[in-house]
Chains A and B, each alone.
Chain A
Amino acid sequence: MPHPTLTPTLPTTETGWLRIQGDASLQTLVEAANTPALLKQALKRSFSWQERNDMNVLRATLSPDQGPLWAAALLAWDTQIYFDSGDIAPYGAFLKREVKPAGRSSGILIRPEAEQTRWGVAEVARTRRDTPIVGVVAVVDMKGTLVETARVALTGVWQRTADLAQAPAQLSGAELSSDAIAKVAAAIAAEVDPRPNFLGSVEYRRAMAEVLSADALTQCMTE
């Protein structure tokens, strides 16, 4: 609980990324002026005010079950984990143990908000405050009218709590159109590997992956 004093703005690295200490409270991010709006929204949606105060960034980040939509937002926002050794690892790769950085994880690095970056969030749940059955966060970097990169992270459709889909890479270099989104959403639905439970069968989760991916990407068209 020894959270640093409230920071009005998050410090930045030499490359302009925002550097958040792992022991900072989640509420620090909500209150900081330069936290990307997507992450603020994901935090408020995933955690109560109490949780945001008593849970630190690293715990919430390294235990995606604590807030699946938060984890998805971090994935889609291309977050990185930094270590006391100085190593840096992509969040998604670290969660999947695809990288083996030295030292202990110390905090996260997040990209600052940028004009060319658009995002969307879509989910289905029993109620507004319930953990999503399926949740999707899409982040699209535009270059002019074309998509430079598109990242779509989903929860509730993998064995893991949250992961990135590969299919959105298809959007790179293309215009973000309804047709393109529909194709990518269908490809995402084919790509996901859901586990059923009482809240959703495999079929349902796959169908929701398509519907909600399209929703989230469509929000990126209009932002």
Chain B
Amino acid sequence: MRGKSVDITLTVNGQEQHWTVGNRDMLLHVLREHKYFSVKQGCDTGDCGICTVLVDGKPVRSCMTRAVDVAGKTVLTTEGLAQQGELHPIQEAFVETGGAQCGFCTPGKIMTAKALLDRNPNPTVEEVRESMSGVLCRCTGYVRTNDAVLRAARKLRGEDTGPLQPLRFHLSEGETVEDVELPEPYYRRDNALDPLPPVVITPPDMPETTVVGAAETKVDARKLVLGRPVYAFDKFVDGMLYGALLTSPHAHARILDIDTSAAEALPGVHAVLTYKNVPRVKHASGGQTPPQPPPYDQVMFDNKVRHVGDRVAAVAAETPELAQKALRLIKVKYEPLPHVIDPMEAMKPGAPVIHDEEDTVGIYDAQRNIVHHIEAEVGDVDAAFAEADFIYEGEYYTPKQQHVHLEPHVTLTWWDENDRLVIYTSTQVPFHLRRMVAPLVGLEPKQIRVIKPRIGGGFGNKQEMILEDVCAMLTVRTGKPVRMEFSRTQEFYSTRSSHPNIVRYKVGVKGDVVTAAELYLVGDTGAYGTHGLTVQMVGGLKGLSLYNPPNARFVSDVVYTNQPPTGAFRGYGATQAQYGFEVIMEEIAEQLGLDVVDFKGKNVLKIGEPMYLAEKLGEGREGYPQDLTTSGLAECTRIGLEATDFYAKRKAYAKQTGRYRKGIGFANTMHGSGIAGLDMAAATIKMWDDGTFFLTIGATDIGTGSDTILAQIAAEVLGVPLEDVIVYSSDTDFTPYDTGAYASSTTYISGGAVRKAALKVKKQILEFAALMFELESPEGLVLKDRKVIAPDGRSFTLWDIGMASTHQMEQRQIMATASHISYVSPPPAAASFAEVTVDTWTGQVTVDRFFVAADIGRVINPVTAAGQVEGGVLQAMGFVMSEEMVFDEKGRLANATIRDYHPFLVDDAPPIDVVFVETNEETGPFGAKSVAELAMDGAAPAIVSAVHNATGVWVRKLPLYPERVWRAIREQA
């Protein structure tokens, strides 16, 4: 309680409440204390709006509203919307449209929509965008959430909405995508902002499916729209302590001494951890498959800090306020050291040495802060350059982007009744964590159980051990449950980000063929090397394979600086490198007078061709040979050219001379599907006696919809509707292993495991059914529509089979586990088109429209897949337009708030239209590849291309801050 105690009476969700609150308590915290857990917190500054509730019918930020100020008023939270278990029409609409992805912002969105529709039952899309702009969403791209509000309005007006369905085109034999005529709205000739359903174009040879491919609603959608307490953020344990972290105010300093005596003496403080009292176990914090890529340059607490926000000490106390007070009592004697923020400066002789400790091994050149130096080459690059007709060079820069998942890092730890340590945490990698935490806290992995509840977004930042080791150690030391939660400021300073890259390409062209390419990447890994090696290797592979010259050289220096460490971020190096390659390809086409689409199309990786560097560049090791087996990229490009009227606009826009100029840009991109030869997933399917199924998977749904699409795969094989497959993920005790949610692996790798497990279960069902039919063999039996049908027409339902196999005859548990690994990583690909307006007098770029045509193999669920694309595009748009972690001369962030950092809000977002051109990737489950990271790759090159079309200038450094564009235009003039 903050401030003086005050008794208030208010009405919450129709019920009168009499509460005692502090006069400085915020409504958000008071509501959550009273178990209204739908009310979420995403920032500390009132910037994100996800805590929105209605007070007397008006939407307010509950984090900025004092509880005493709502005395006598009525408060409505998401818990108050559904009646007798029936969803409110707004909740229904969010379910139907896929408007709830991770779901963490969903209650805030729903409540804002409620307020809007109460006032305006028939809002325009512009009114929806304006009204909803106070609530940040990081997953959806806002297409589906806007759709949900408009759909809810129709429902509330009594109009029949029907379920959201994609627009489907099944091509007949002999037809091509050129025979597809998209409806007029997809051309956006009227500049309308309306959300449109995704389009799915299916080639004639695609096998038919029933559940796979259907726009099923997410299996977790109901609990998300109801605002149920499903996140680690909502978890509290009786008797728990609150952990808190003291972090460094210095970018680089030695800790000469720490005096924790005052903190330890404070009543209610149970433990204080520093470098003095925790074991010095060297490790890397990235959640990656062992052997963990080096260097092992971290310890739980060190006597040196290497960035502002680095760990100094931790406490566990009986209240959060006490924990903060204890932190303030810790006296730290620092010796500030010279620091370096710029990676190029960090490599120079005489730069401050960031890792001068003797016990870190595996640093390539510690004196020059080069943690890794990577070289890989195929063909004879120098000879190819010598023989080239033209050689082009270009340098590009990409920013340090923060994930800004709305659920912060939250971890709880406790000892269970068997003296095993439970880690309940918001993570993408529960199995890696179990293995990684154990040695740091002096336990065997078998003594640890990691539970992953629903995750409120991750985007790579939860593929990392951020709080788990400290929280676990506090429980080990105190014997008590401990909860730790990061603030938004700590998310910026003390978690991870993308790697800012300097990207230098040298490309040799003979005629119109790219014959050689060299890529030099400088990757700024920040203070620690986690993911530094693998991100750059992926950048090298993806950045040199898209146009795949037979002579290719990749060189990279991964450099320490005194910035917060980088890590995994959706796109993982490919986004940065492909941005450079795409832009230089267009620069080359322009200089050679070639049509850029044709030039790229001629050189792009094609079916049957090997990715030359694939064997040299795995992730942290050598890779495996990879040939492209499927590609719909050419078809995607054709669709995009048509839907955007690309050539006509490009020609017209190139002639503009006025202040405001329009531009259209185009980019090819491709990604991968899991890490070849490394990612492994397993799935277990059990048949219950009622003929339904329980699917347990280690795969971690972080809002992507993976639980849903994996269940769809199982349902398809088992001949049942989706509702007959109950999914549980993930718990290291009870679900089989999975590497985790990263590397675009879940659909392809985890989906492969589910399909195999389902096939095994199907085989058992058919064998048992054969017994019931008294047949010698299951041959000829068909499993579909919840029953097994014999060739003679007899049938048993799955209920019959479940009952018989469990209780009645030759009893057995029908159940199977299967694992899946792939030695190929088939690339999904996309053609992206951006349309912009540039104010040439100010340099401001506005993205007016974005169109993506993507080949992700089979589209398992068009709504969740479209949500992935839309959300990825918008996250990437932030990378292009506004998002960059900027540091001052002392290594402090200049923009460590959501407001200053500025991810895109609803009203910032252009319409994003998605078309899927399916291909049948035979190595993927039902022909699927992947989608999540591909979506990140196209925005940067397409938007930069559009700006060039509008203005004639190339802006090679991202983000496209107005001043950068303005300067480029002035320099050209």
Q: B58 is contacted by which of A27, A126, A128, A201 (Cβ under 8 Å)?
A: A27
Cβ < 8 Å to B, chain A residues 174-203: 197-201
Give A144 to B908 CA distance when docked, in angstroms: 40
The answer to whether residues A124 and B962 also contact, given A1-B60, A55-B64, A198-B884 and a CB cut-off of 8 A, is yes
Q: How far is the CA of A197 from the CA of B900 in the complex (A)?
A: 12
Task: Mark the stretch among B126-134, B148-156, B158-166, B676-684 that contacts chain A.
Answer: B126-134
Q: A129-B905, A211-B842 are in contact. Are A200 and B46 (CB under 8 A)?
A: no
Q: How far is the CA of A40 from the CA of B839 in the complex (A)?
A: 25
Measured in the bound complex, the distance between the Cα atoms of B12 and A85 in whole Å is 39
Point out the residues of chain B lying under 8 angstroms from A48, CB to CB.
49, 133-134
Tell me whether B904 and A127 are in contact (CB under 8 A).
yes
Q: Are A127 and B902 in contact (CB under 8 A)?
A: yes
Q: Inside 8 A of B843's CB, which chain A residues have their CB?
A: 124
B66 within 8 A of A: yes
Contacts of B966 in A (CB 8 A): 204, 207
Which residues on A sit within 8 Å (CB–CB) of B967?
204
Count of A-B residue pairs with CB < 8 Å: 100
Q: Assess A204 versus B59: contact at CB under 8 Å? Given A1-B69, A127-B908, A129-B133.
A: no
Most buried by A among B844, B881, B884, B908: B844
| A44 at the B interface (CB under 8 A) | yes
Question: CA A2 – CA B46 in complex, angstroms?
Answer: 19
Residues of B within 8 A of A37 (CB): none
Is the Cβ of A204 less than 8 Å from the Cβ of B902? Answer: no
Min distance, Cβ B132 to any Cβ of chain A, angstroms: 8
Interface centre among B52, B60, B112 (most CB of A within 10 A): B60
User: Smallest CB–CB gap between B761 and chain A, Å?
Assistant: 49
- Residue-wise, chain B 820-859 has the 8 Å CB interface mask toward A (1 for contact) of 0000000000000000000101111010000000000000
Q: At the interface, yes or no: B959 with Cβ under 8 Å from chain A?
A: yes
A81–B718 Cα distance when bound, in Å, is 72
Cβ B46 vs Cβ A51 within 8 A:
yes
Rounded to whole angstroms, the CA-CA distance of A60 and B843 in the bound complex is: 29
List A contacts of B66 (CB < 8 A).
1
How far, in whole Å, are A49 and B906 apart by their CA atoms in the complex?
13
CA of A127 to CA of B134 in the docked complex: distance in angstroms? Answer: 15
Interface members, chain B 48-78 (any A CB < 8 Å): 49, 52, 55, 58-61, 64-66, 69-70
**CB-nearest residue of chain A to B53:** A50
Residue of B with least CB distance to A199: B961
Count residues of B near A (Cβ-Cβ below 8 Å): 45
Q: Are B882 and A126 in contact (CB under 8 A)?
A: yes
User: Known interface pairs A2-B69, A49-B134, A198-B895. Does A204 touch B881 (Cβ–Cβ under 8 Å)?
Assistant: no
Q: Given that A128-B846, A198-B894, A212-B842 are contacting pairs, would A50 and B59 also be in contact in the complex, using a CB cutoff of 8 Å?
A: yes
Q: Which of A2, A27, A127 has the largest count of B CB atoms less than 10 A from its CB?
A: A127
Shortest beta-carbon distance, A202 to chain B, in Å? 11
Residue of A2, A49, A199, A211 with most chain B CB atoms under a 10 A cut-off? A49
Task: Give the chain B neighbours of A54 by CB distance below 8 A.
Answer: 55, 60-61, 64-65
Give the chain A neighbours of B69 by CB distance below 8 A. 1-2
With both beta carbons as reference points, the residue of chain A lying nearest to B52 in the complex is identified as: A50
Contact of B907 among A2, A129, A204, A208 (CB under 8 A): A129
- Residues 117-145 of A, flagged 1 when their CB comes within 8 A of B and 0 if not, give 00000001111111101000000000000
B899 at the interface (CB under 8 A from A): yes
- Looking at the assembled complex, report how far the CB atom of A210 sits from the nearest CB atom of chain B, in whole angstroms: 10
- Inter-chain CA distance A129–B129, complex, in Å, is 11
Contact between chains at A129 and B908 (CB < 8 Å) = yes
A126 CB to closest chain B CB, in angstroms? 4
Q: Does A106 contact B (CB under 8 A)?
A: no
Q: Does B886 contact A (CB under 8 A)?
A: yes
Max chain A C-beta neighbours (<10 A), residue from B58, B115, B843: B58
Smallest Cβ distance from A207 to chain B, in angstroms?
8
How many Å from the CB of B869 to the closest CB on chain A?
A: 20
Asked if B963 is an interface residue, CB under 8 A from chain A, the answer is: yes
> For residue A126, which residue of chain B has the nearest CB?
B882
Q: Using an 8 Å CB-CB cutoff, how does the interface string of B685-707 with A read, 1 for contact, 0 for none?
A: 00000000000000000000000
In the complex, A1 Cα to B844 Cα: how many Å?
Answer: 37
Contact B902 A126 (CB under 8 A): yes
5 A-B contact pairs sorted by A residue (CB < 8 Å): A49-B131, A50-B59, A50-B135, A198-B895, A199-B962
Taking A127-B902, A128-B907 as given, write out 16 further A-B residue pairs in contact, using a Cβ cutoff of 8 Å, ordered by the A residue number.
A1-B65, A1-B66, A27-B58, A44-B130, A50-B112, A51-B64, A124-B839, A124-B843, A126-B844, A129-B908, A130-B902, A130-B908, A198-B884, A198-B886, A208-B842, A212-B842
